[in-house]
A and B are shown apart, each in its own frame.
Chain A
Amino acid sequence: MRSLILEAGTRAVFHTMLLFSVYLLFAGHNFPGGGFIGGLVAAAAFVLYYIAEGPGHLRKTTRRVRPEVLLGVGILLAAAVGVAALAGGAAFLESGVIEVEVPIIGHVEASSVLVFDLGVYTIVVGLVLVILESLGAEMPS
């Protein structure tokens, strides 16, 4: 069963939702948001896409990037932050901040926890995609 309204609506908001999820990811350190919430918003975008277009379309998207790979990449990112801290002589997962003066934008603080949060984000998206793919596939008759 396809709904034209839902399909058109999804196309309108899908990219906005993804963009918003990235905003949440970056803003999370100072405002409501963060990797988990951002990941959930992105996942919700994919769920919407799935409902509107069906499993076939979603699979075309996930063929390029396998959801399982997202899970692995996420864990590696998060763990890498911890190990990098160890390598830098700090405690495991201890955060570090780099402050840079960027022309035009001005003063920028980049924290290692952003990478960690990106790992969380990736895993949440990957997990929901895995569930969509496995539970949401057409049932073999």
Chain B
Amino acid sequence: VRRHTSLTWELTLLALLALHGLLAALAPPVARRWGRGVFLLCAAAPAATTVWVVTRAPSVLAGEAAVESVQWAEGLGVSVDLRLDAFGLVMVALVSGIGALIFWYAHGYFTKPRPDLGKFAGVLTAFAGSMLGLVLADNVLVLFVFWELTSITSYLLIGFEDRKAEARDAALQALLVTALGGLALLGGLVILGQAAGTYSLSAMLAEPPAGGVVTAGLLLCLVGAFTKSAQVPFHTWLPGAMAAPTPVSAYLHSATMVKAGVYLIARLAPAFAVAPVWRPLVIGVGVATMLVGGYRALRQHDLKLLLAFGTVSQLGFMIALLGAGIPKATFAGVALLIAHGAFKAAVFMVVGIVDHEAGTRDLRRLTGLHAAMPATLLVAAVATASMAGLPPLFGFISKEAALEAFLLPATDFGADMGGTLALLGVVVGSILTFAYSARFLWGAFARKRDVGGRGAAGREVVAAGDVHAPPRSFVAPAALLAGAGLVIGLAPRLVDVLVNQAALALDPRWQPQAIALWHGVNVALALTVLVVGTGAVLFAARRTVERYQALVPPLPGSYDAYQRSVRGLVAGAKRLTGVVQNGSLPTYLMVIMLTVVTLPAPFVIGLLWTPAVPEFAAHGLQTVVSVLVVAATLGAVAARRRFVAVLFLGAVGYGVAILFVIHGAPDLALTQLLVETLIVVLFVLVLRHLPDRFARTELRAYRALRGAVAIAVGLFVFAFTLVAGAARTRPSISGEYLARALPEAHGRNVVNVILVDFRALDTLGEIVVLVVAGIGIASLVTAGWLGGRGSRAEQRGAAAAHDRLEEGADR
């Protein structure tokens, strides 16, 4: 019976991943028929995953991880190992649970038909699948592949509004930053894998390697995680990524993409936090990010941007907690991870609803919306309260747990990184969080007196009367998520086992403890009171704070640094290309020829003294033909007209073909003859584009140089042929080919058998080269002719895009 259960396990996770891929591929054609209904179809993938994971939860939470494995690259020892443990369960619940709601929400969000909705739904599904694969992968190389897939799919999603330059820029920045981090991560994972002797994540964590190399590998992994999770100084791509449609932002900020870095650090921390630089770096960067994000969120007027900086801040918080590698902090981190996923998705959905109904997200233009959309306000209030860490919400419980973790004695955090400093940072960060949460709720819904004032001057104000209440089904996903935060807050026992087992799965040292809303009067509670009080003051004095923030010059932005490095890279590449590719064909040839002569020359000359000089000519005719070939060569060199030179070259080729015939190689000779004929004809075609006569170079020295190089190449090839002929140390394989051609390959023509059977892979490579050359010739010639006028393909593409747009508008 047990065997049977393991068999049904075997492919379920993979099948769920494949389902994501299948629906992603189906989405574009389906969207053509169903329009936005495609989102409900695509929701099936994350929904099915969620349902399945819930049914497996009892056994996984009992400590029995689900494992699947499929051989991938056997020779490299890479197999697709999937593993679902309790922490994986938390991540899958976030990725797929929230994912299903996001699809539902997207169905309400895209009310206007647009032709590219199918593409969008497909990429979003692929994105959900990539993230799912990332949190399930047990082989670090497989994890890396999914990691990169999330980078690529998020690039497509952020740049979905590809007609807006800012969306394209934001998408490119996200891709460059996260892909750069991805490269570092690959390096880090390979170092860790080599040091550990295994690429299995669970095996690596069970017996963590140590040493200087491992520290370097960990640093690289951290760079990868920091870029992905938008940590200082790589954080700027995330606020930029809000150029994406809101469903994407809600998903990206809550459950996917940015959580990938948090996930990786959470996995690695318990095993590797003892490494020299880990704790100061991870906790330092995390706390710094928390402060920078919170500070910048306070001064935003765009509600979505406010939340985006809020996410940066919360990510720093999570990195500091889960990266500390202390059981209690890990426990608090898992709780915060769940709480954040729920409330952040909900508040982003609320922003999308406000934007959708009011047409703006600028809090200086919104006033009194609370009256128009009371249900949305309620949802927003509950979610925001969780974000601010107020009781009785889950956000409060997780923040209390976090404060308690940082109240632990400093010795738990290693020698120099005192818990006190981290605690201070977290408290200040929480104050900022409270303040920007309040600002968000106030900004979106409150009645404001100074609305339309400074900065928003001349812009239309949106008040309650201008706005319809959103349909219920549009608010429902956000309501479910916000409600989850409330229900869990009131009855934390619901997630007691989940959070404890997830913390245990990360760190076996954790001793499970009950989660409770009320821990009695203690230091953490006092700190919460302090946070709420100061945060409220900060919010109440928002005018003063804004004025003060305007006075402080902005820090040298990492966005500028990004811009400068991209510009520098492009300029550098241009300069390098200018030097290396100067456009002179003779120079290219000369470089190639000189390389051919100089690099192997020492070895060839060394061997020249021991050549077995071959027989000069076995047949009288060979001498005659050779003399003719040499004469034709000299003729080609002396020719003044290009056409004559081509004919002489053809004569050389025919002469060589005759030599092949004399040697008894009909296939070679036949090929040579045909190729020479074709070359002459095709050469003539090219000659139509060139001047009749060769240009006479004025510089005698340059001509002498070219002559010298030509002679050197000729001598070298001669010497090389002699040496190569004498270089045989093993018996030739020719005999073997002759012997095996008929019995094994059923062919009497050995040349052909070699080409298509014995060495068919070589032939395959060669014909691929032929194809590439054909495409290259066609495009070069076409590009050259159409140069000034823009290519015809481009015009066709633009026309087609225009047609598609009109078609979409008609529908």
Interface positions of A (Cβ within 8 A of B): 28-37, 40-41, 43-44, 47, 51, 67-68, 71-72, 74-75, 78-79, 81-82, 92-93, 95, 97, 109, 111, 113, 116-117, 119-120, 123-124, 126-128, 130-136, 139-140
Question: Which chain B residues numbered 643 to 680 have a C-beta less than 8 Å away from chain A?
Answer: 666-667, 670-671, 674-675, 677-678
By a CB distance below 8 angstroms, the chain A residues around B782 are: 134
CA separation between A123 and B747, bound complex, in Å? 22
Interface centre among A31, A34, A81 (most CB of B within 10 A): A34
Question: Is A28's CB under 8 angstroms from B752's CB?
Answer: yes
CA separation between A33 and B774, bound complex, in Å? 23
Chain A residue at minimal CB-CB distance from B784: A134
For the complex of A and B, 9 pairs with smallest distance between CB atoms: A40-B674, A134-B781, A29-B747, A30-B748, A34-B752, A113-B756, A93-B760, A32-B666, A130-B774
CA separation between A21 and B158, bound complex, in Å? 54
By a CB distance below 8 angstroms, the chain B residues around A117 are: 752, 756
By a CB distance below 8 angstroms, the chain A residues around B757 are: 95, 113
CA separation between A93 and B758, bound complex, in Å? 9
CB distance from A83 to the nearest CB of B (A): 11
- Does B763 reach chain A (CB closer than 8 Å)? yes
CB distance from B768 to the nearest CB of A (A): 7
Asked, given contacts A29-B752, A95-B757, A140-B785, whether A47 binds B675 with beta carbons under 8 Å apart, the answer is: no
By a CB distance below 8 angstroms, the chain B residues around A29 are: 746-749, 752-753, 756
Interface positions of B (Cβ within 8 A of A): 666-667, 670-671, 674-675, 677-678, 681-682, 685-686, 688-689, 745-749, 751-753, 755-757, 760-761, 763-764, 767-768, 770-771, 773-775, 777-778, 781-782, 785
Question: Is B685's CB under 8 angstroms from A132's CB?
Answer: yes
Interface centre among B671, B682, B749, B752 (most CB of A within 10 A): B752
Chain B residue at minimal CB-CB distance from A91: B761
By a CB distance below 8 angstroms, the chain B residues around A71 are: 770-771, 774-775
By a CB distance below 8 angstroms, the chain B residues around A111 are: 745-747
CA separation between A36 and B573, bound complex, in Å? 41
CA separation between A41 and B677, bound complex, in Å? 10
Question: Is A130's CB under 8 angstroms from B747's CB?
Answer: no
By a CB distance below 8 angstroms, the chain B residues around A43 are: 674, 678
CA separation between A74 and B771, bound complex, in Å? 9
Chain A residue at minimal CB-CB distance from B747: A29
CB distance from B321 to the nearest CB of A (A): 49
Asked, given contacts A34-B749, A130-B778, whether A120 binds B674 with beta carbons under 8 Å apart, the answer is: no
**Is the contact region of chain A dominated by helix, strand, or loop, or is it mixed?**
helix
CA separation between A83 and B713, bound complex, in Å? 42
By a CB distance below 8 angstroms, the chain B residues around A95 are: 745-746, 756-757, 760
CB distance from A50 to the nearest CB of B (A): 8
Chain B residue at minimal CB-CB distance from A81: B760
CA separation between A134 and B678, bound complex, in Å? 15
Question: Is B667's CB under 8 angstroms from A34's CB?
Answer: yes
Question: Is A131's CB under 8 angstroms from B746's CB?
Answer: no
Asked, given contacts A68-B775, A93-B761, whether A40 binds B746 with beta carbons under 8 Å apart, the answer is: no
Question: Is B681's CB under 8 angstroms from A51's CB?
Answer: yes
CB distance from B670 to the nearest CB of A (A): 5
Question: Is A37's CB under 8 angstroms from B749's CB?
Answer: no
By a CB distance below 8 angstroms, the chain A residues around B674 are: 37, 40-41, 43-44
CB distance from B663 to the nearest CB of A (A): 14
By a CB distance below 8 angstroms, the chain B residues around A113 are: 745, 747, 753, 756-757, 760
Asked, given contacts A95-B757, A139-B688, whether A37 binds B667 with beta carbons under 8 Å apart, the answer is: yes
Asked, given contacts A29-B748, A33-B749, A44-B678, whether A116 binds B760 with beta carbons under 8 Å apart, the answer is: yes
| 15 interchain pairs, CB-CB under 8 A | A29-B746, A29-B752, A31-B748, A37-B671, A40-B678, A47-B681, A71-B775, A74-B767, A95-B756, A95-B757, A120-B755, A131-B685, A135-B682, A135-B686, A140-B785
CA separation between A111 and B666, bound complex, in Å? 23
By a CB distance below 8 angstroms, the chain B residues around A31 are: 748-749
CA separation between A92 and B767, bound complex, in Å? 16
Question: Is A120's CB under 8 angstroms from B767's CB?
Answer: yes
By a CB distance below 8 angstroms, the chain B residues around A35 are: 755-756
Interface centre among A47, A71, A82 (most CB of B within 10 A): A71
CA separation between A126 and B778, bound complex, in Å? 12
Extra contacts besides A34-B755, A120-B756 (8): CB < 8 Å: A32-B666, A34-B756, A35-B756, A44-B677, A71-B770, A111-B746, A132-B685, A139-B785
Question: Is A37's CB under 8 angstroms from B670's CB?
Answer: yes
CA separation between A81 and B757, bound complex, in Å? 11
CB distance from A86 to the nearest CB of B (A): 13
Question: Is B777's CB under 8 angstroms from A33's CB?
Answer: no
CB distance from B769 to the nearest CB of A (A): 10
Question: Is B771's CB under 8 angstroms from A136's CB?
Answer: no
Question: Is B746's CB under 8 angstroms from A109's CB?
Answer: yes
By a CB distance below 8 angstroms, the chain A residues around B775 are: 68, 71, 130
CA separation between A125 and B756, bound complex, in Å? 17
CA separation between A35 and B773, bound complex, in Å? 19
Chain B residue at minimal CB-CB distance from A126: B774
Chain B residue at minimal CB-CB distance from A35: B756
CB distance from B65 to the nearest CB of A (A): 34
By a CB distance below 8 angstroms, the chain B residues around A136 are: 685
CA separation between A123 and B769, bound complex, in Å? 10
CA separation between A46 and B315, bound complex, in Å? 66
By a CB distance below 8 angstroms, the chain B residues around A75 are: 767-768, 771
Question: Is B755's CB under 8 angstroms from A36's CB?
Answer: yes
CA separation between A126 and B768, bound complex, in Å? 12
Asked, given contacts A36-B671, A51-B681, A78-B764, whether A127 binds B756 with beta carbons under 8 Å apart, the answer is: no
CA separation between A47 and B677, bound complex, in Å? 10
By a CB distance below 8 angstroms, the chain B residues around A133 are: 778
Interface centre among B748, B760, B767 (most CB of A within 10 A): B767
CA separation between A120 and B770, bound complex, in Å? 10
CA separation between A127 and B768, bound complex, in Å? 11
The answer, among A32, A126, A131, for a CB contact under 8 Å with B670, is A32
CA separation between A130 and B771, bound complex, in Å? 10
CA separation between A32 and B751, bound complex, in Å? 8
CA separation between A44 and B757, bound complex, in Å? 26
By a CB distance below 8 angstroms, the chain A residues around B686 are: 135
By a CB distance below 8 angstroms, the chain B residues around A81 are: 760
The answer, among B747, B755, B785, for a CB contact under 8 Å with A30, is B747
Asked, given contacts A37-B667, A37-B671, A47-B681, whether A28 binds B749 with beta carbons under 8 Å apart, the answer is: yes
CA separation between A67 and B777, bound complex, in Å? 13
CA separation between A40 and B668, bound complex, in Å? 13
By a CB distance below 8 angstroms, the chain A residues around B747 are: 29-30, 111, 113
Chain B residue at minimal CB-CB distance from A120: B767
The answer, among B688, B751, B781, for a CB contact under 8 Å with A34, is B751
CB distance from B743 to the nearest CB of A (A): 11
CB distance from A71 to the nearest CB of B (A): 5
CA separation between A86 and B681, bound complex, in Å? 41
Question: Is B749's CB under 8 angstroms from A119's CB?
Answer: no
Question: Is B748's CB under 8 angstroms from A68's CB?
Answer: no
By a CB distance below 8 angstroms, the chain A residues around B781 are: 134-135
The answer, among A40, A47, A51, A68, for a CB contact under 8 Å with B778, is A68
Question: Is A40's CB under 8 angstroms from B671's CB?
Answer: yes
CB distance from B700 to the nearest CB of A (A): 34
The answer, among B667, B749, B752, B774, for a CB contact under 8 Å with A131, is B774
By a CB distance below 8 angstroms, the chain A residues around B675 are: 40
By a CB distance below 8 angstroms, the chain A residues around B678 are: 40, 43-44, 47, 128
Chain A residue at minimal CB-CB distance from B666: A32
